[in-house]
Amino acid sequence: MQSVFSERRYLIPFRATLLSQIFTDVLVIGSGVAGMRAALAAAEHSDVIITGKGHIEQSNTYWAQGGIACVFDQDDTVEQHVKDTLVAGAGLCDEPVVRINVEQGPARIAELIDWGMRFDKARSDSEEGPIALGREGGHGRARILHADGDATGRELALTMQRKMKGNDRIRAFSECFVLDLVTLDGAGGAGGAGGRCVGAITWHPKYGLQVIWAKATILATGGCGHVYRETTNPPIATGDGIAMAYRAGAVLADMAFVQFHPTTLYIAGASRSLITEAVRGEGAYLIDRNGTRFMPEYHDMAELAPRDIVSRAILAQIAKTNHTHVYLDCRHMGTQHFSERFPGIFKLLKKFDIDPGLMPIPVHPSAHYMVGGVRTDTQGRTNIDGLYACGEAAATGLHGANRLASNSLLEGLVYGEITGRICAEMCTNGPTAPAKIISDIRPSDRSELDLADVRSSLRSVMWRHVGIMRDGPRLAEVGEMFDFWARYTLDKIFDDLTGWQTQNMLMVGALITRAAQWRKESRGTHYRTDYPQTAEAFRTHELWQRGESEPQTVENGASLSAT
């Protein structure tokens, strides 16, 4: 695998020698919560282009059922939220970053309210009064703000979209796929020495291939859940931002840590729709096929234990009862209460003739959130000058080895604002000098694999062997599979999204596998059956960079420059 995935190829192969050009001060890649907040902050000082791979309705943000974690009650404190985040992160959270997110959260929420976002009230029949605060797994206090019960992401996305449309310094390009970053002077060499990001190569169905030149580029491309067969993520979550950053020489961190959501709807032939953790926070129980409530046997927080613990407990109970799934029991809530509290989920369940007030909901874990990603400092800077990262694509150190529920939308808001504001440091220079972009990769002399087969096999093997439970021999086998697929796929020149996305999925899947094989311990979302204990020697961030066969390691809180 190393010889293929460390090849010093800078650009993904594409069929063009002369591209049209667009100039801007700041380019934001990704139009979820982090990208939109970054664009709004950057527009305070510069002209901005924000690109979206699809439309807003296709983003993870839009479909986020969970809320936003924030210290918003007089009985709650910053210290308590920090503590809960550190506990969930299993010893790998960078505390300064945790404090930045928790302390700046209230200001970001107040801002959203000022922009017109509607949060649920403590009294459903009143527009006045205090905001309702829910509790989710790992939180010691009720501090989760929701909108329309289980549609927080939709309300958040639409609020921010309205705010962007009112800003004439922001241009939004939807259906704009970014192939690769463009760097000059060393193309992002080790530690960023001599490398500077000056924009990206994009493809649009109407305008074709283009170069967007930018003084500052912010990666906010989200996660990579679609590399797994079972996932809550939409099909566009193929890890493109992480893959393009790696190709450009950016440092990646904590790639072994992928969070699996314990409860997604499990019905044959249906997509794995999320059943938000707030349902368990409202009092729902997990039961097995025999009707036995099993979570108290696995953790003293029962259904509100951290997600990695709940996911593994579900798999253990499935094996113990020889069944395909477990159930979420909400019958004690009653149909009316459930439908009022979770209208979106109720509507979804109705399509399958499931009344949660009368029958339990079949559920199973699915890949949900990429904890690792592009390594940044406390201000969102990467090791490449002019390149910043925020949101799920970034590894700031906030989540450690396991994300605390509802901290992700908070991170998108906080670090979106930070990166958008701080990137002004790159925008005081003169106009970016364009370079000639030529794709001179020779046509492959190897036969071509069927892309649909590669994607299907990739997603299946990631789910079986690089998922919730992992072990060394299987990880080694998966690495060999990736090496084979890569030899016949990464060298090809494609002309469409399917090919480019498959190449990105291969890159990200291989990196997750390599990191999981290296980390010989169990911690947070990463569980090795052959190394079931947490090892102090691995209480470190592992850093991956193109051209290196082994990762560097840094202690928590170490500055990015130390790498």
Q: What is the 3-state secondary structure (H, E, C) of 385-440?
A: ECEEECHHHEECCCCCCCCCCCHHHHHHHHHHHHHHHHHHHHCCCCCCCCCCCCCC
Q: In this structure, how many other beta carbons lie within 10 angstroms of the beta carbon of residue 274?
A: 24
Q: Which residues of 49-67 are buried (b: 16+ CB within 10 A; e: fewer)?
A: bbbbbeebebbbbbbbbbb
Cα–Cα dist 107/104, whole Å: 6
Q: At 157, which amino acid appears?
A: A
Q: 287 — phi, psi (to 5°)?
A: -130, 155
Cα–Cα distances (Å) from 218 to 112, 177, 199, 467, in that order, read 22, 15, 9, 29
> Which DSSP string do the residues of 288-348 spell out, in sequence order?
-TTS-B-GGGT-TTGGGS-HHHHHHHHHHHHHHHT-S-EEEE-GGG-HHHHHHH-HHHHHH
Q: In this structure, how many other beta carbons lie within 10 angstroms of the beta carbon of residue 352?
A: 12
Q: Which helix H or strand E contains 134, and what residues bound it? A: strand 133-134
The verdict on whether 307 is a catalytic residue reads: yes
Q: Which long-range contacts (CB under 8 A, 24 or more apart) does 79-83 make?
A: 80/140, 80/141, 81/105, 81/139, 81/141, 81/143, 83/140
5 and 510 in contact (C-beta within 8 Å)? yes
Cα–Cα dist 513/202, whole Å: 28
Cα–Cα distances (Å) from 97 to 71, 234, 361, 397, 424, in that order, read 16, 28, 37, 6, 21
Q: Which helix H or strand E contains 222, and what residues bound it? A: none
Written as six digits, the tokens of 402 are 């396991």
40: DSSP letter: H
Contacts of 89 (CB under 8 A, 6+ apart): 98, 398, 399, 400, 401, 402, 403, 404, 524
Strands 373-375 vs 394-395: parallel, antiparallel or unpaired: parallel
> Which DSSP string do the residues of 136-185 spell out, in sequence order?
-TT-SS--EE-STTT-HHHHHHHHHHHHHHT-TTEEEESS-EEEEEEEES
129: DSSP letter: S
Kindly name the residue from 154, 307, 459, 470 that is annotated as catalytic. 307
Catalytic residues: 307
